Amino acid sequence: MKYFWIYLAVINVFTFVMYGVDKRKAKEGAWRIRESVLLLLAAAGGSIGALFGMLVFHHKTKKAPFKVRIAIILVLQIIAVGAWLYLRNPALESPLIREDGKTLSERFATPEGYTRTEAPAGSMAAFLRGYAMEPHGSKVKRYDGRTKSGKTAVAVFSMHLGTENLQQCADSVMRMYAEYLRASGREDEIAFHFVSGFLCDWPTYRSGKRVTVDGNDVQWYDGAAESGSDETFEEYLELVFTYASTLSLWEESVEVPLADVQVGDIFLRAGSPGHVVLVVDVCEKDGKKAFLLAQGSMPAQQFHVIRNDAHTDDPWYYVDEITYPFETPEYTFDAGSFRRPGYLTVGDRGEDGK
């Protein structure tokens, strides 16, 4: 970004000087700089320098066609720069973001002096840090293929989304936990409650059982052949997404101190609409911690790391800076909203796994 502004400054100063030189040559009757060159300098980004050169040196001010061309170039460049400034996402230019990073930990460097918390092999922290990311600068896609508006995301996870409006905020968190357990060879532990309180576990669904739902009355029945395929797993998750929400996630989590933040923790407000964001990485320095947050949202959309509006050039959130109400780019959380889902056992998260 800074090189762009340096270039604009240099080209405009150079253009201004060239207009002065050409004016002097005109007075001396010397060999002139061609008009096409003067126009080319303006078109190359030096239109402001050209305008000031014309005004200060009283050069080309009587040539209407030349003045019109300069004016057109200037207006077009102002529109182009304005549009670019409006559309750009300054958070993507953070020095802590490595554009060629393929995974979460490769994409995000830690702040100066900070190191990532311990992540033993097989922990959720290790799983998330190794999660594949979409190319740098990718826009967040919705379930229907449309691009999400706004500049919330600083990186997008390469996570399955589906074509139905199901995988929203709480669903994305549940999917991440389910994917982790399945990838860790512990898929028998995958289970989520519906809002009604019904426990929908993957082993039962995998065995061929299906559910009937009549209000809060939910029952298993024999409905399919046993299958642990990826397709069946996606069907299971879509069922969970249909009947679980931030309300059930609240019941499946407990409040914890923010000072004890670990990968897999959440900021959660239950309700309709509620919202949840997931802690996807943690680093520390001299006992102080910082973390990255990611979210899905409504309508269903790709899971993405969100920017930190308190630091436009730094996506990490710092524990000692958090006050309530806690504002994220799209939602505000009240005191008591920091929680830990109960899907894992001690030692699964990384660190001490409490």
- So where are the chain's domains? 2-88, 92-341
Which of 183, 302, 184, 171 is closest to 236 using CA atoms? 171
Rounded Cα–Cα distance for residues 207 and 178 (Å): 17
Instruction: Specify the pTM.
Output: 0.77
Measured CA angle at 43 (ends 39, 48), to 5 deg: 90
What letter represents residue 21's amino acid?
V
Please measure the distance between the N-terminal and C-terminal CA atoms of the chain and give it in whole angstroms: 42
Rounded Cα–Cα distance for residues 90 and 153 (Å): 11
56: three-class secondary structure by DSSP: helix
Rounded Cα–Cα distance for residues 78 and 67 (Å): 16
Give me the pLDDT at residue 181, please: 97
- CA–CA distance from 118 to each of 79, 110, 122, 263, 325 (Å)? 49, 14, 12, 10, 30
* pLDDT by 10-residue block (mean), the chain, 354 residues: 82 94 88 90 92 90 89 90 68 85 98 96 96 96 93 94 95 97 96 97 98 95 97 97 96 97 97 93 97 96 96 94 96 96 70 46
Rounded Cα–Cα distance for residues 33 and 15 (Å): 12
Integer-rounded Cα radius of gyration of the chain: 28
Which of 37, 43, 40, 45 is closest to 9 using CA atoms? 45
Give me the pLDDT at residue 150, please: 83
Q: Which residues contact 77 (CB under 8 A, 6 or more apart)?
A: 45, 47
Rounded Cα–Cα distance for residues 171 and 102 (Å): 24
The secondary structure of 170-218 as a DSSP string is HHHHHHHHHHHHHHTT-GGG-EEE-TTS-EEEHHHHHTTEEEEEETTEE
Count CB neighbours of 126 within 10 A: 19
98: three-class secondary structure by DSSP: coil
Which of 242, 237, 238, 236 is closest to 224 using CA atoms? 236
